[in-house]
Amino acid sequence: MKLLQTDKTDATGKKKANLKKTLKPAKKQKGKQKSKPSDADDSEDEGIKPLKETRMSDEPIPRKSKWTNKQRVLVLCARGINHRDRHLMRDLRTLMPHHRAEPKMERWKTLQVVNEMSEMKHCNKVMLFEGRRKRDLYMWLANASVGPSVKFLIENIHTMGEMKLTGNCLRGSRPLLSFNEEFTKHPHLLLIKELLVQIFGVPNHHPKSQPFVDRVITFTYLDNRIWYRHFQILSEDGGLTEVGPRFVMNPIKIFNGSFGGEPIWENANYQSPAKHRQMLRKAASEKYLQKMKQKVNRELNAPKDTHKLTPHGEIFKDSVEERVKEVLRQEKQQLKEEQEREKMEKKQKFMKQRDEMRKLKLATAKNATSKKVPTKKAMRKEGDGSKKASNGIKKRVPKVKNGGKRKVSRKEDV
């Protein structure tokens, strides 16, 4: 059963829908075709757009997204960096939620391979760290596959774990980028500024970012270098506390392409760290020669007459008789001092000899007391023992030679 709408008029003249009236289902007629739609039905469907007959399955469905600035930064390093450089790279990754990580690149690979890696990761910016001799760190910032690219020498590295500062910001929040006025005065600094903004700036409405601004990254150009600092915003008045990390970027060259091409700009004041260390070693080895040169220069440049003095000025200052008396008195005093000194030396020698004699006497007395004096009982025991020994021992009879005749000496006769 289907309901039909029938219009009724109120007292005010308005029409009302009536759904009470019903229709019975029509009987099927055999052998008759269905009636074609009338022209009235066609006029009702004129405002509706017809659907497509076919639709490709690969065709993307259009979506309205707020994330329009789709910057992705590939952060990787080559083999040969030390532990501090690796910790710096890890800190920068935590500060950039729009980064893509990549394992270490082999040394034998050329820098052009990085462009292929960025295409595979769908990244349009690259940050590459290179190490030399486990001491020096170089950083590349590049616009992938198009250019330009900048090479920096990283100096004075201090990581977040090493500094242990009090600042702490929300992870994934968007930073404010602050640049010095010097970035607007030179053309090569304008190019570097644009690269830094696109790499360190977090895109708005990024899926991994937070919709808060609670930190500031400052880039200051001073002494032909770019100083990087990272702060937390404490209050709207401008209170800041440093979070870290800290490092200094010394620009070396700017290339037209990505990791190659013609050099657009080159730093004339740049000196490689290996050459700097060589100069320090050379200066240390030549330290002795420099000392000798300074000594010769002092002798040559020393003034000959330091003071203008009159010869024999002190002698003829007073009367001659008084001066002679003073000289004689000084000589007598010197003689007395020498005699007293000799007497003291003689006394000291005598005292030493007396001490040595005392020590000898004490040593002899100790040796004498160490030998025990025998008592009367001990003497008696020794006498009894000697008698017993004499009784028990047989007397030897001398042998007679020369036909039994015995020789008699004068001593025996006596």
pLDDT tens, residue by residue, 358-379: 888 888 888 887 765 566 666 7
Q: Residues of the chain whose pLDDT is less than 50?
A: 1-6, 17, 19-21, 23, 32, 400, 408, 411-414
Structure confidence at residue 1 (pLDDT): 43
The single residue listed with the structure tokens 């009338």 is: 38
Q: What is the pLDDT of residue 284?
A: 84
User: What CA–CA distance (Å, rounded) separates 106 from 90?
Assistant: 19
Dihedral over alpha carbons 66, 70, 71, 76 (to 10 degrees): 110
Q: What is the pLDDT of residues 139-153, one digit of tens each?
A: 999 999 898 999 999
Tell me how far CA of residue 195 lies from CA of 71, 140, 299, 359, in angstroms: 12, 11, 59, 94
Is the pTM higher than 0.75? The answer reads no
* % of the chain surpassing 70 pLDDT: 71
Superfamily of domain 73-276: Brix domain (3.40.50.10480)
Q: Closest Cα partner for 73 from 130, 122, 137? A: 122
Reported as a single tens digit per residue, the pLDDT across 177-233 is 999 999 999 999 999 999 999 999 999 989 999 989 999 999 999 999 999 999 999
Q: What is the pLDDT of residue 414?
A: 36
Angle at which helices 287-301 and 273-285 cross, to 10°: 60
pLDDT at res. 303: 80
